[in-house]
Amino acid sequence: MPIRPENRKLYPRNWKDLTASIRERAGNACEGSPAYPDCRAPNHQPHPITGSRVVLTVAHLDHDPRNNDPSNLRAWCQKCHNTYDAPHRALNRAARLNASPCICGGTGRVLIDDDAEVHCPHCPGHSNVAQDTDEISRFRVGLL
């Protein structure tokens, strides 16, 4: 999984070497996760369930990138890794959005319908806040 830029400093300098050793330990195949304990999808081959090309990643069981004890690391295919991390990612996403002082969650955009969004009128840096506010008002009365 890609490392978020703000988390990169939490990973050790030898992370590439460490992940290579974990993939080698796993025989270059998925080690199976709690959701898919029998998964042994081989690296760079079509996944037996999804058919997508497997790219083995190394997961932290405790989600702490500073804990690089081999017993805390697993070589997982995308399906296993994404399934395992989904609840943790949802919590982090909610925390990031709730930490934002604005209704847009810091994105600068407000979703006002399933497929319609406008610039957030509350965020600084928008060059045309009055137009954005008017755009939201027109949408609400059905003019957009």
Contact present, 117 and 109 (Cβ < 8 Å): yes
Q: List pLDDT tens digits, range 74-87.
A: 999 999 999 998 88
The distance from CA 66 to its chain's CA centroid, rounded to whole angstroms, is 18
- Name the residue ranges covered by the structural domains of the chain: 5-99, 109-140
CB 40 within 8 A of CB 28: no
Q: Tell me the per-residue pLDDT of 27-74, one tens digit each, with 9 for 90 and over.
A: 999 999 999 999 999 999 999 999 999 999 999 999 999 999 999 999
* Alpha carbon distance 33, 84 (integer Å): 7
pTM over 0.75: no
Q: SS3 of 51, please?
A: coil
Beta bridge partners of 118: 110
Per the CB < 8 A criterion, the answer to whether 87 and 80 are in contact is no
